[in-house]
Chains A and B, each alone.
Chain A
Amino acid sequence: MRLSLAPIKRLLPAGLKVHGRDGLLFQRLFWGAMAGCLATLLLAESPILESMELSMLEWRYKVADKITALFPKPKRSQDICLVNFDDLSQFDLGIARFNDSASQEKLAQALQVIESGQPTMVVLDLDLRGATNELLISTIKKYRNVIVALFGSLEGSTELPAADFLSYAASYGYDELIHEPNGLVCRLPINYRGMDSNNSEGGFSAEGLAPVPSLTEAVIDYYRRVKGVGPPSQFFSVSSDQPLYMSYHRIDYPTISLRDTMQSDFNPTQFRNRIVIIGSTFTQRHNEVKKKSPFQESVPDIDLHADAISTLLNDDVIYSFPKNISHHLLLLIGAAFGAVASILPLGMRTAAYLFTSMSLVVLAQLAFQVLHLALPTASPLAVLTLGFSLGTFIYLDTDLRQRNRELAQARESMQVRAEEERQRIAEDLHDETLPALSSVARMADRLAHEMQDNPVPSLMREKLDHAVVEMRRVINDLHPSVLETMGFKPAIENLVAICARETGIEGNFEDGDGHSDYNLSNFTRLQLYRIVQESLNNVQKHSQATTVNLNINEREGYLFIVVTDNGKGINFKAIRKDAHGLLNVRQRAQLIGALVEWKKPERYSTGTEFRLKIPVIETPTTGDA
């Protein structure tokens, strides 16, 4: 990580502190932001999230419905009146479908009754395929405020009503009002050979393909023409990736059965200045997915149309947030949250995550209800979650590294302090206790001279000499003063010599570079000294070797110390669990950042080669060799 950050660090101002906590902060922010961006890229376009988004939208409708239910408002529609062709009408009128002349004639009669009530317009949303009735066509032509919805693909002629019906009656057509199975979108454009707008007589023009409105649009268009005012047509020019959503308010539409309009005592005045929608409550279309609204699994088309129309009339459209903007915002949010998540302390991060997610949901609901804006939530939540997880990983990772570093530093400084303390004790013993013992010994000498026949003073001398020898050993164990007085290499050489003398193993010291000292700290020198001591000790105790070589060499910025013996070699399996020798060497090496390894030597058939490698600042060759 440090390596990959190096080019960026180079761009930073020279004086900027990039180590320690500051460097960590920078690292965390950087990688957190990267992780957030990655999360966004992964999740912003996910199709799974798109469908999730829709179900969340549905859920938001329900919540909105529950909330508005707390504040009762008049919900009875003043604009729209429904006329049902329901099961009852079907049986009482003896009509199953309006696909023959007789049934269409009955419809024409009903239409005349309704028109006598002077509605603003009548929308015919019935399957009129099949034969054409002259009366129906003449009625539609007479009142000129009837909008007929056509079924089926307009490209395939077999599905179409009779040609003459089309040419007179098909003012507007629509194909499928709602493609979305959950019925939330209020329009989908279709391509249709539309009516020539100049030819208001209803001539069917075959010229050119024009984008032709949906039923809802047709209704609104006509409404505007009749009333002079109305909802603007801007809703019909938005792109398809930014759908508009209906607002469902569970509006109560005055509903009359088609059968009732044919009763002699029916009063059509209730239709006055209203939009009358005539439609069947059961789906007449084959292979048709049942429509659903946020509140109902199966909704008649007529209700959906009514909802769509009233949404537009009441200017209640819910806009969706433009996707191209939301993607960029998402990238920003993801990066920001990832960065934040990677620096927050552990105790706060989960709370922050939950708080952010909850406020996003609440914000989305508020925007939905107050601003009529459908904010995307599924992708932001997913991005937040992934960004949060990645940020947490980054935090933990960097935290672990930092802690490890601090721990290592603490260990080192503890070790350094311990060594300093030992050195101090050793020096005290050397400077105070040894001279004191020596002077006592000399007093004993004087006594021995004065009391020739008394053996005690000379015995005292002997005991004191033993004590001094022992004390010297202790002092040397505490702190090898050879390192300071003689320098590093003679001290190491001395170790080999001592090992050779004490054991009779042939000891060879091979000086590879001729430097007497290296650019190493006192602490490092001491640890190296102890490591060599330990490894020679191992040779002495376990290897049964007859020769041991110690090679010391500085090469290409590294100091190599190689201890080779021709003993029986290390059997790592046989090393006891409680043996500290190798572990001790490893720990010391780790402390000073040295690499150690044990392997089979090349120059002997059996034995052990201990190699140590430590980076060292090159020693000037002009140094005292």
Chain B
Amino acid sequence: MSILIVDDEERDRMWLKNLLVQSFPEHGTINEAHDGQQAVDTALKLKPDLVFLDIKMPNLSGIKAAEMILQKLPDTGVIMLSNFSDEVYVRQLWKIVPPNGVFGYVLKNASNEQVVEAAKAVLSGDCWIHPGIARVIQRTQNRATSLTSAEYEALVCIALGMTDHAIAKRLYLTEKAVQSRLKSLYAKLGIPGRGESHETEFNQRCRACYVATRRGLINQSELDDWESKLEEKKTGGPAQV
């Protein structure tokens, strides 16, 4: 497994390299590049499995570099590692990543665990988007398939393993309302209803979690955040979720 690290700051390259060496003992070569153009050249030559890209770099921005790399090597896992939290970058990544391709978007203030989590997710074929940005993107990428905040809430709750009853209690809803939310959620995630198809014998809840993880709508860190928030709420914290 070869990895390419692209950043114009040597400090960041060092940190990431050390982290990857520690977390992935089975790693192959770890190469470095310090601008976008060099990244493209190196990637095309070495065909790495995973590319970490900074966005703001001389000569060629990370987004452009990712686009050029993915054109030639669509199976490469690209993880943007940047200080920009603008959703525009994530949206752009959605556009340039091939339909089955995966990418990660990690902010530079992420903890080491989050970086490793993202790397693992991308290597195993899931998208990973930094908490905070993820919530932004799931709502704005496409009106037809994007989730409303109510649906997203429902998604998080089932991912956390809550029952309809628990969700209703937690969100101050009737169980019927929860069920109708889940129904529209499943529809948007493209999961067939229980009566609609007999061939697809999936559990809808688990399937929803799988699809959402795949798309990068939820991830471990995100869920951890929510978990702690719901705990707070249980213990008398603010009602707002």
Contact = CB atoms under 8 A, between A and B. Distances in A.
A associates with B: yes
Interface string B1-40: 0000000010110010000000000000000000000000
B91 A497 contact: yes
Given A435-B83, A490-B88, A494-B86, A485 B112 contact: no
A486 B63 contact: yes
B112 A494 contact: no
A442 B112 contact: yes
Nearest to A429: B83
Contacts of B9: 431, 435
A566 to B, nearest CB: 17
A442 B87 contact: no
Contact of B56 (A442, A481, A498): A481
Contacts, number: 73
A430 B83 contact: yes
B145 interface: no
Given A485-B84, A497-B87, A438 B63 contact: no
Contacts of A442: 15, 111-112
Interface string A448-465: 000000000000010011
Given A431-B9, A435-B11, A435-B83, A486 B88 contact: yes
Contacts of B83: 430, 434-435, 438, 472
Given A497-B91, A501-B136, A501-B139, A461 B86 contact: no
B174 interface: no
Interface band, chain B: 20 to 34
Nearest to B132: A469
A28 B63 CA distance: 55
B112 A445 contact: yes
B55 A485 contact: yes
B108 A486 contact: no
Given A481-B56, A500-B140, A438 B108 contact: yes
Contacts of B61: 484-486
Contact of B88 (A431, A497, A500): A497
A447 to B, nearest CB: 12
B109 interface: yes
A157 B56 CA distance: 115
A445 B111 contact: yes
A614 B108 CA distance: 38
Contacts of A437: 109
Contacts of A481: 56, 84
A600 B83 CA distance: 41
B150 to A, nearest CB: 12
B11 A469 contact: no
A225 B139 CA distance: 124
Given A431-B9, A485-B63, A498 B108 contact: no
Interface residues of A, number: 30
Interface string B202-215: 00000000000000
B41 interface: no
B227 interface: no
A493 interface: yes
B200 interface: no
A482 B86 contact: yes
Given A485-B84, A486-B63, A497-B140, A434 B91 contact: no
A434 B140 contact: no
A491 interface: yes
A497 to B, nearest CB: 5
A464 B108 CA distance: 12
A469 B86 CA distance: 11
B89 interface: yes
Contacts of A486: 61, 63, 88-89, 92
A486 B90 CA distance: 12
B232 interface: no
Contacts of A464: 109
B113 interface: yes
B84 A498 contact: no
A563 interface: no
Contacts of B91: 494, 497
Contacts of B163: none
Nearest to A431: B9
A503 to B, nearest CB: 12
Contacts of B109: 434, 437-438, 441, 464-465, 468
A468 B109 CA distance: 7
A244 to B, nearest CB: 91
A476 interface: yes
A510 to B, nearest CB: 15
B108 A490 contact: no
Select the residue from A439, A485, A490, A501 with max chain B CB neighbours within 10 A: A485
Interface string B32-62: 0000000000000000000000011000011
A491 B88 CA distance: 8
Interface in A527-542: none
A472 B85 contact: yes
A430 B107 CA distance: 12
A482 B111 contact: no
A275 to B, nearest CB: 109
A476 B89 CA distance: 14
Nearest to B84: A481
Contacts of A434: 83, 108-109
Contacts of B56: 430, 481, 484-485
Interface string A168-179: 000000000000
Interface string B97-133: 0000000000111111100000000000000000010
Most chain A beta-carbon contacts within 10 A, residue among B56, B88, B91:
B88
A438 to B, nearest CB: 4
A475 B93 CA distance: 22
A497 B136 CA distance: 10
Interface in B55-76: 55-56, 61-63
Contacts of A430: 56, 83
B190 to A, nearest CB: 23
Nearest to B111: A445
Contacts of B111: 441-442, 445, 461
B45 to A, nearest CB: 24
A8 B32 CA distance: 63
A464 B92 CA distance: 28
Interface in A361-406: none
A491 B136 CA distance: 16
A501 B140 contact: yes
Nearest to A490: B88
B140 A490 contact: no
A468 B88 CA distance: 19
A480 to B, nearest CB: 8
B97 to A, nearest CB: 16
Contacts of B87: 494, 497-498, 501
Nearest to B135: A501
A215 B230 CA distance: 130
Contacts of B112: 442, 445
A485 B113 CA distance: 28
A441 B15 CA distance: 13
3 tightest A-B contacts by CB? A494-B88, A438-B109, A468-B109
24 contacts: A434-B83, A435-B9, A435-B12, A438-B110, A441-B109, A464-B109, A468-B109, A469-B85, A476-B86, A482-B86, A484-B56, A484-B61, A485-B55, A485-B56, A485-B61, A486-B63, A486-B92, A491-B88, A494-B86, A494-B87, A494-B88, A497-B140, A498-B87, A501-B140
Interface of A: 430-431, 434-435, 437-439, 441-442, 445, 461, 464-465, 468-469, 472, 476, 481-482, 484-486, 490-491, 493-494, 497-498, 500-501
Given A445-B111, A485-B89, 7 more contacts: A431-B9, A434-B109, A445-B113, A472-B85, A481-B84, A485-B55, A493-B88
